[in-house]
Chains A and B, each alone.
Chain A
Amino acid sequence: MLLIPCPWCGKRAQTEFTYRGDATVERPDLADSDSQWYDYVYTRDNPRGEHTEWWHHTGGCRKWFKVRRNTWTHEVISSEPPVRD
């Protein structure tokens, strides 16, 4: 049972959350190329090691946030709200 650190609620059991995968991909603009859209929807870095990913506190505050987690050791390193520049 992983403990996921929700930036708003603190550490909670993994069963309260929904996972959504890679949080490094960014939705392109309408004008961007086909290949950018293809990459956004389909291709993934899929690293063995540190991975930034979306989690959703479904059974809590219902916020999406980014978690930095190691896909090899399952160590949860940090979490942050979904800020964009």
Chain B
Amino acid sequence: MGAFRNSSGGTLDRTQRIRFRFDGKQYSGFQGDTLASALLANGVRVVGRSFKYHRPRGVFGMGVEEPSAMVRLRTGARAEPNVRVTEVELFDGLEAHSQHCWPSVNFDLGAIANVMSPLLPAGFYYKTFMWPATKWMFYEHFIRKAAGLGSSATEPDPDNYSRSYEFCDVLIVGAGPAGLSAALSAASSGAKVMLVDETPDGGGRLRFDDEVINDGPADKWLNETLRELSKMPNFEFRFRTTAFGYYDQNMVVALERVSDHLPEPEPGQVRQRVLQIRAKQVVLASGSIERSIPFGYNDKPGVMLASAVRGYALKYAVACGRRAVVFTNNDSAYATVTALHSVGAQVVAVVDSRTQSPGKRALEQLGDAKLIQGSVVIKTKGLRSVQAVEIGQIADEGDSPKKSHTIRCDLVCVSGGWTPTIHLFSHAQGKLNFDDSISAFVPGADIPALHVVGSANGEFSLAACLRQGSDAGIESAKQAGYETTASVSIPTAPEESVGDMEPLWSVPRTGSRVKRFVDIQNDVTIDDIELAHTEGFVSVEHLKRYTTLGMGTDQGRTSNINGLANLARLRKAEVPEVGHTTFRPPYTPVSLGALAGVDFSEHLSPVRRTPLHQWHERNHAHLQNSGVWKRPAYYPRTGESVQDAILRETRHVREKVGITDVSSLGKIDVQGRDAAEFLERIYINRWKSLQIGRCRYGLMLREDGFVFDDGTSTRLSENEFYMTTTTANAGPVLEHMEIYAQTVWPELHVHLTSISDQWAGMALAGPFSRNVLNTVIGEQAASNENLPYMGVINARIADVPVLVFRVSFSGELGYEIHIPSRQAELVWETILAAGQEWEIAPYGLEAMTILRIEKGHVVAAELDGRTTAADLGFGRMMKPDGDYVGKRLAERSALTANGRKQLVGIKSIDSSPIPRGAQIIAEPSGGKPAQTFGQVTSACFSPHLNQEIGLALIKDGRLIYGKTMYAASPLTGREVPVEIVHHIFVDAEGERVRG
């Protein structure tokens, strides 16, 4: 299957042929392939284009490290941009498209950027596009056209995502030899062990390296180990799961790709799941990643990591080329020679930059391939992919290598050494040390409850990886409280001598225009690093930001260290002196959908519904959001406009009787022998003098002296108060009172309980409200004597015990009836039935708003967190003696000075509507900027006054009643002359509410 696939070998299921499309062309592969192996098997070399210069890019790596072979996977609403082909498991019907190229990946007009590249060095955009000065956005328009890699879908993803919370004693990250060995020992202790691995089947390098464990083939040990582990009840394996972040207190977060390997999720199956794993101990066996060597045109398709070439050969039986050159500075790449031979490819030469001989095993692996020591690949040749390489002898330090000969080849297998994958260790704030022997950063000082083992710890010999893993397994289980009783047998592997690697951070320059790529996704070259250095961008962070090194989607896994080391070379410093940039989560990009789980769109925040919600729905209320609540705005009748409905409801309250749902008010039960004293300190007014069975309006400040909240509170008994708060502040007020009760005045005996959910509330208002109430609670029970203004009685409605408060928000005779929530609808219906005689009608928030503006009642619009009690006309409520919250800071000069904005009423003089959100100015502005004296906080048409009115906060407003000012709304182009009046428009003397 495919011209580059060997007829045997690999671990594929060759009975299952899989068809897929790339750029519209049909190909096939086998079950077990990745998209990368299948494309390589079919001889597809150019997969994408690089970010900046649009140079052709092919498969470079084999997994998460892949910098350049990215596609747009799937189509339509499931389309996903920037997917690394190395991580895609092939499924039937797969469709992938190349991206960041036009019209096609093989002929991309964007490649003009490559021709222009001499003009486009690192940071070129900071130096130009400044003429003419105002035209940056013109240039930017074209720059944005070239921006981005792939395109996102434009439709919402139909798939689902979820989240799960996991707990275990020992979490092991990575199922390579070290991780599996750790799992065996940890699990044998009885500890609950979880092992996560990003691949579908684990095994790490054992899947594609020819190794020996316990004197047998490594894959035999691997399969036995997996089988053994799967039988243990205290062990759990999560494949296709990438640990991407390490957060405070040993929380590892991982992404499980539940169904990405399927054409689409099965019914009821999620696509991906985020695991938040709390582990007592974490073993990090995340392995290491091979790195590249920057040499001339080392970015072309056909240049690949040696380990990847080996992997494609052994696991997928794919030859990544027919004639290969291996270019290395260490022993590990020699295994690629035998691997290539096994798939019938020819290895022309191994170019080893070291002068000393490789180790014994490497020499065995070399076989009869030609070894060119002390040499380097100077550059590749070929138009769209490698056709030959120039080889040269290493000269003295810094000098250009001398070209010795050219070798015809179509594949360069490069190995610049190995970089431990220590991202999670860094997320955990672990400090890194530079290990000269492997020229890489390795974990430094220990972090509690975190063990780094194997090649992630800079240990590259298989025997040592197995040993370290096993030791860490035992130790972590022990620290989690599980002592291993049985003796654990540590898996063994032959100890081998490995030749020392010698760092080769770049092949010295051989020609002024020859590009040596460091970061092949973002097209950052050695020249760019030199330019950054020349210009003084010599800190690693400056280098990264100026050149964009390592800022691509691969986060520079194969390239960062090369960049740092080249900066060190230029600075004539050692690599550790130069330092490294900070690793930040996520380790590998994570879909937004998975991070969000299900809590977005209509589930962004919970919906709160009042106990009467179903009644409102049945009665066609228009429900609107009011913070987290759904509340009825109005109850339109057939054929009625919104405005008509609102005005009808408003008039109905003033003329007859209406009822509205106020269940969302905060309700707090305040009990204890110091309850009155406590309220005295929470509110600005007096509470100890309040008689039982009476309620009072209360205003509370924040400690900084500004108004916090208001509401009425009722003394139910000597030591019990029933407090109400505004809807929005129900939670904050309770917290506020709790902190004072528990921490500031713990000596006060007071107990606070939220009863907001337990009690529903409804306001009955209008001239006939007493008639209605008497009907339901008993003749004359609501008489002025029995239930005077600001009085409270216990009563029964439909045999339900209720509290009836004589309070009014509307300026009409009115009551609030509070009922245990479960009986709310019964009581509501009972009142409605009883009120039919007086044509009772429900009213919503809109009518309530008009009624309260007419009455001059303040709400959140006026209690905006910047107003004082005095600003709102409550200055006299502030008791002169005794402490209360906010008292002292309310006395500050700026809170008491003249010139503050005060609450007033405004009336439209020419009867045009007062623009909402208008600012108050002294003279007509003529559309020009003008000094403002305040703002309109609420405005409406008052059906009662048949006038456009509003409330406003205006500088020294109470001193200028009668004055004309202008409500200016430049946003709507309107300016309305208004008269400043007192803020109470209706029932200023309180005759209605007391009547």
> Is A–B contact present in the complex under a CB 8 A cutoff?
yes
Chain A residues in the interface with B (C-beta under 8 A): 1-3, 18, 20, 23, 27-30, 34, 37-38, 40-41, 54, 56, 58, 62-64, 73-76, 82-84
Please give the distance in Å from B741's CB to the nearest CB on chain A. Answer: 9
Chain A residue nearest to B248 in the complex (CB):
A74
Tally of B interface residues using CB under 8 Å: 21
User: A41 with B276: in contact, given A54-B743, A64-B739 (CB under 8 Å)?
Assistant: no
Shortest Cβ gap from B752 to chain A (Å):
8
CB pair B251 A1 closer than 8 Å: yes
* Residue on A nearest B703 in the bound complex, by CB: A41
B739 touches A73 (CB 8 A): no
State whether B248 touches A2 (Cβ < 8 A).
Answer: yes
- Kindly state the separation between the CA atoms of A7 and B96 in the bound complex, as whole angstroms: 55
Output the least CB separation between B787 and chain A (Å): 34
Question: For residues 232 through 280 of chain B, which have their beta carbon under 8 Å from a beta carbon of chain A?
Answer: 247-249, 251, 276
Q: Which residues of the other chain, A, contact B704 by a CB distance below 8 angstroms?
A: 41
B717 CB–A CB distance under 8 Å: no
Cα-based distance from A2 to B742 in the complex (angstroms): 24
Name A's interface SS. Answer: loop
A1-B276, A3-B249 known; A62 and B739 CB under 8 Å?
Answer: no
Name which residue of chain A comes closest to B882, CB basis.
Answer: A30
The 9 closest A-B pairs by CB, nearest first: A82-B743, A74-B248, A30-B883, A37-B888, A64-B742, A27-B744, A64-B739, A3-B249, A64-B743
Given contacts A30-B883, A73-B429, A74-B248, contact A82 B889 (CB under 8 A): no
Whether a CB of chain A sits under 8 angstroms from the CB of B746 is yes
| Smallest CB gap from A38: residue in B | B889
12 residue pairs of the A-B complex, CB under 8 angstroms, read A1-B247, A3-B249, A18-B735, A28-B888, A30-B887, A37-B888, A41-B889, A56-B739, A62-B738, A63-B742, A74-B249, A82-B743
B665 to chain A, nearest CB (A): 19
List residues of chain A with CB within 8 A of the CB of B429: 73
How far apart sit A85 and B876, CA to CA, in the bound complex (Å)? 36
In the assembly, what is the distance between CA of A17 and CA of B938, in Å? 35
A54 contacts B883, C-beta separation under 8 Å? no
Taking a contact as CB atoms under 8 Å apart, the answer to whether A2 and B703 are in contact is: no
Residues of chain B with a CB closer than 8 A to A38's CB: 889
Contact present for A20 and B739 (CB under 8 Å) = yes
Please encode chain B, from 687 to 713, with 1 for each CB lying within 8 Å of some chain A CB and 0 for all others. 000000000000000011000000000
B738 touches A64 (CB 8 A): yes
Q: A56's contact among B247, B738, B889, by CB below 8 Å, is which?
A: B738
Chain B residue with the shortest CB-CB distance to A26: B744
Q: Say yes or no: B743 contacts A58, CB within 8 Å.
A: no
Q: How far is the CA of A74 from the CA of B735 in the complex (A)?
A: 24
The reply to whether A37 and B889 form a contact with Cβ atoms under 8 Å apart is yes
Q: Name 6 extra pairs, CB < 8 A, besides A1-B247, A34-B888, A63-B738.
A: A18-B735, A40-B703, A56-B735, A56-B738, A64-B743, A82-B742
Instruction: Tell me the B710-768 residues at the A interface (CB within 8 Å).
Output: 731, 734-735, 738-739, 742-744, 746
Instruction: State A38–B746 Cα separation when bound (angstroms).
Output: 23
Structural contact, A58 and B739, CB atoms closer than 8 A: no
Alpha-carbon distance A37/B734, docked complex (angstroms):
23
A-side contacts of B734, CB under 8 Å: 62
Contact (Cβ within 8 A) A58 B889: no
* Chain B residues closer than 8 Å to A3, beta-carbon distance: 249
Q: Which partner residue on chain A sits nearest B249 by CB separation?
A: A3
| Contacting residues, chain A, for B735 (C-beta < 8 A) | 18, 56, 58
**How many Å lie between the Cα of A28 and that of B249 in the bound state?**
36
CA distance A82 to B738 in the complex (A): 12
Measured CB to CB, the closest approach of chain A to B199, in angstroms, equals: 27
The answer to whether A84 touches B746, judged by C-beta atoms less than 8 angstroms apart, is yes
Interface residues of B (CB under 8 A from A): 247-249, 251, 276, 429, 703-704, 731, 734-735, 738-739, 742-744, 746, 883, 887-889
A71 to chain B, nearest CB (A): 12
What chain B residues lie within 8 Å of A84 (beta carbons)?
Answer: 743, 746
Given A1-B247, A56-B735, A74-B248, check contact A30 B888 (CB 8 Å).
yes
**Across-interface contacts of A28 in B (CB, < 8 A):** 888
Chain A: minimal CB distance from B866 (Å): 16
State the CA gap A1–B391 with chains docked (Å).
54
The chain A residue sitting closest to B247, CB to CB, is: A1
Instruction: Give complex CA distance A63, B429 in Å.
Output: 32
Residues of B within 8 A of A54 (CB): 739, 743
Question: In the bound complex, how far is the Cα of B249 from the Cα of A3, in angstroms?
Answer: 7
Bound-state CA distance A40–B744 (Å) is: 12
Q: Whole-angstrom distance between the alpha carbons of A40 and B746 in the complex?
A: 18
**Cα distance A1–B167 when bound, in Å?**
14
Neighbouring A residues of B703 by C-beta, 8 Å: 27, 40-41
Q: Please name the residue on chain B nearest to A32 by beta carbon.
A: B888
Please name all residues of chain B whose beta carbon is closer than 8 Å to the beta carbon of A23 when the two chains form the complex.
Answer: 743
CB distance from B34 to the nearest CB of A (A): 34
Nearest to B276 among chain A residues (CB) is A1
A27 neighbours in B (Cβ, 8 Å)? 703, 744
Residues of the B chain whose Cβ atoms lie less than 8 Å from the Cβ of A75: 248
Chain A contacts of B889 at CB under 8 A?
37-38, 41
- Chain B residue numbers with a CB within 8 Å of A73 are 429
Q: Give chain A residues whose Cβ lies under 8 Å from the Cβ of B743.
A: 23, 54, 64, 82, 84
Give bound CA distance, A56 to B703, whole Å.
18
Cβ–Cβ contact A76 & B249, under 8 A? yes
Separation of A28 and B888 alpha carbons in the complex (Å): 10
* Interface-centre pick from B248, B703, B888 (highest chain A CB count, 10 A): B888
Question: Whose C-beta in chain A lies nearest to the C-beta of B732?
Answer: A18
Among the interface residues B276, B731, B742, which one has the most CB atoms of the partner chain A within 10 A?
A: B742
Bound complex: CA of A1 vs CA of B801, how far in Å? 45
A2:B249 contact, CB within 8 angstroms: yes
Query: Which residues of A sit under 8 angstroms from B888, Cβ to Cβ?
Result: 28, 30, 34, 37
Most buried by A among B247, B251, B704, B743: B743
- What is the CA–CA distance of A28 and B746 in the complex, to the nearest angstrom? 15
Chain B residue at minimal CB-CB distance from A23 = B743
CB distance from B252 to the nearest CB of A (A): 11
Task: Report the minimal beta-carbon distance from B274 to chain A, rounded to whole angstroms.
Answer: 12
Task: Name the distance in Å between A29's Cβ and chain B's nearest Cβ.
Answer: 8
CA distance A54 to B738 in the complex (A): 12
Q: A81 vs B986: C-alpha distance in the bound complex, in angstroms? A: 50
Which residues of A sit under 8 angstroms from B247, Cβ to Cβ? Answer: 1
Q: How far is the CA of A38 from the CA of B251 in the complex (A)?
A: 40
| A39–chain B nearest beta-carbon distance, Å | 12
Q: How far is the CA of A84 from the CA of B740 in the complex (A)?
A: 13
| Distance between Cα atoms of A37 and B883 in the complex (Å) | 13
Give complex CA distance A73, B889 in Å: 35
Smallest CB gap from A81: residue in B:
B742
| B755–chain A nearest beta-carbon distance, Å | 13
Q: How far is the CB of A8 from chain B (nearest CB, A)?
A: 12
Cα distance A75–B744 when bound, in Å? Answer: 27
User: Of all chain A residues, which has the CB nearest B892?
Assistant: A34
- Residues of the B chain whose Cβ atoms lie less than 8 Å from the Cβ of A29: 883
Task: Quote the shortest CB–CB distance from A24 to chain B (angstroms).
Answer: 12
CA distance A84 to B734 in the complex (A): 21
In whole angstroms, how far apart are the Cα atoms of A78 and B604 in the complex?
A: 34
Give complex CA distance A22, B888 in Å: 20
Q: Which residue of B lies closest to A20 (CB)?
A: B739
Q: Which residue of A lies closest to B702 (CB)?
A: A41
Query: Could you tell me the distance in whole angstroms from the C-beta of B438 to the nearest C-beta in chain A?
Result: 29
Q: Collect the chain A residues with CB atoms within 8 Å of residue B249's CB.
A: 1-3, 74, 76
Q: Which residues of A sit under 8 angstroms from B883, Cβ to Cβ?
A: 29-30
CA distance A83 to B276 in the complex (A): 35
* Contact partners of A2 in chain B: CB under 8 A: 248-249
Q: Chain A: which residue is nearest B741 at the CB level? A: A64
Interface core residue of A62, A74, A76 (most chain B CB under 10 Å): A62
Complex contacts, A18 vs chain B, CB 8 Å: 735
**CB distance B746 to A82 under 8 Å?**
yes
Alpha-carbon separation in the docked complex, A75 to B448 (Å): 12
Minimum C-beta distance from A12 to chain B (A) = 12
Q: How far is the CB of B282 from chain A (nearest CB, A)?
A: 15
Cα-based distance from A63 to B247 in the complex (angstroms): 26
Nearest chain B residue, comparing its CB with the CB of A27 = B744
- Alpha-carbon separation in the docked complex, A27 to B851 (Å): 40
